Amino acid sequence: MNIMLVLLIFWVRAGRLVEAKELIGRMPMQAGPSIWGALLSACRKHRNLEIAEMAAKKLFVLEPENSGNYILLSNMYAEVGLWKEVDNLRDLLKCQGMKKIPGCSWIEVNGKAYLFLGGDTSHPQAREIYMFLEALPEKIKDAGYIVDTSFVLHDVSEEEKEYNLTTHSEKLAIAFGLLNTGPGVLLRVTKNLRICGDCHTVAKFISKIYGQEIIVRDLRRFHHFKDGLCSCGDYW
């Protein structure tokens, strides 16, 4: 069983999703949510919608109240412009009485915790935070950053998508931390959902350009950003 799990992890990380799916089918016991969840996340990373649909359907049965699985598949549909399928999943969520959980992040600075919601403008330093984030893409583009608007669910213009990414709660929390701490201070951020791919990329560039270590604890794992790299190896 341990050997099979090692092989599964290897194939998933290598993008060999067909082999991973076949291995799950040969397991001596029924695969649980963690295994199907890992396959679904890998499908998102490697853009395999066919296997993602199969993994998601398994998770809908195993975790009927976990809206995150619906949202992840919905995001994949949105990436390729399948808006009818996106609407169908939203309708399914509504019929089952589930709602998308609002993204929120919190950070502790000088012994005090600060909470940020996605798109939050209520913080006293909101103007300063947003000015920092609006200027950030140009700074990190020189280091190789390319904005990935596929992580925005809504069918809107590219300009609106880029703005929506800017307002993600983890970016607001990290920006607040940078603005209110000195060089070399470790930033610790906690998010109630899985960190988005673009926010993950931005955090890596921030750690490299600003020389700032950042730890983000999301729904799945700890991410330790340092010198432009993440401890998860870009797989989570």
Instruction: Look at the chain and report how many structural domains it folds into.
Output: 2
Q: Is residue 235 part of a domain?
A: no
- DSSP string of 62-127? H-TT-HHHHHHHHHHHHHTT-HHHHHHHHHHHHHTT--PPPPEEEEEETTEEEEEETT---STTHH
- Both tokens of residue 28? 């001596």
Q: Is 47 left (phi over 0), alpha (psi -120 to 50) or beta?
A: left
- Host H or E run for residue 190: strand 187-191
Mark whether 110 and 225 lie in a shared domain.
yes
Determine the Cα–Cα distance for residues 151 and 103; give it in Å rounded to an integer: 14
- Can you give the CATH number for the domain in which 47 is found? 1.25.40
Q: Mind listing the pLDDT tens digit for each residue in 27-60? A: 888 888 878 888 888 898 888 999 999 999 999 9
At 110, list the tokens: 């000088």
The residue from 95, 113, 146 where one domain ends is: 95
Domain that holds residue 127: 104-230
Residues 67 and 111 in one domain: no
Return the SS3 of 47. coil
Residue 87 has pLDDT above 70, yes or no: yes
Task: Find the range with the poorest average confidence among 76-85, 95-104, 107-116.
Answer: 95-104
Where does the pLDDT of residue 120 fall: very low under 50, low under 70, confident under 90, or very high at 90 and above? confident
Regarding whether 225 and 121 lie in a shared domain, the answer is yes
Structure tokens at 217: 């604890």
Q: Whole-angstrom Cα distance, residue 119 to residue 24? A: 39
With vertex at residue 218, the alpha carbon angle to CA 71 and CA 40, rounded to the nearest 5 degrees, is: 40
At 159 the pLDDT is: 43
Among the residue ranges 29-38, 64-73, 98-107, 152-161, the one predicted with the least confidence is: 152-161
Is residue 203's pLDDT more than 90?
yes
| pLDDT bucket at 108, cuts 50 / 70 / 90 | very high
Of residues 215 and 47, the one with the higher pLDDT is: 215
The secondary structure of 117-169 as a DSSP string is ETT---STTHHHHHHHHHHHHHHHHTTT----GGG--S---HHHHHHHHHT-H
Average predicted confidence (pLDDT) for the chain = 84
Enter the tokens of residue 13. 């990380």
- Cα 135 to Cα 19, 130, 233, distances in angstroms: 43, 9, 27
What's the pLDDT score for residue 130?
Answer: 93
Its sign, for the CA torsion 159, 163, 166, 168, is negative
pLDDT range class, residue 189, cuts 50, 70, 90: very high
For residues 73 and 123, state if they share a domain.
no
- 33 & 87 share domain: yes
87, 157: one domain? no
- Which of 69, 95, 121 finishes a domain? 95
- State pLDDT tens for residues 135-172: 988 888 877 786 665 555 555 444 444 446 678 899 99
Residue 99 pLDDT greater than 90, yes or no = no
Distance between CA atoms of residues 72 and 172, nearest Å: 22
Q: Residue 196's pLDDT is what?
A: 81
Name the pLDDT band for 180 (thresholds 50, 70, 90). very high
216 in helix, strand or coil?
Answer: strand
Q: Of 72, 95, 118, which residue sits at a domain end?
A: 95
Sequence-distant (≥ 6) Cβ neighbours of residue 80 within 8 angstroms: 49
Provide the whole-model pTM: 0.73
Tell me the percentage of the chain whose pLDDT exceeds 90: 39
Residue 100's pLDDT is what?
66
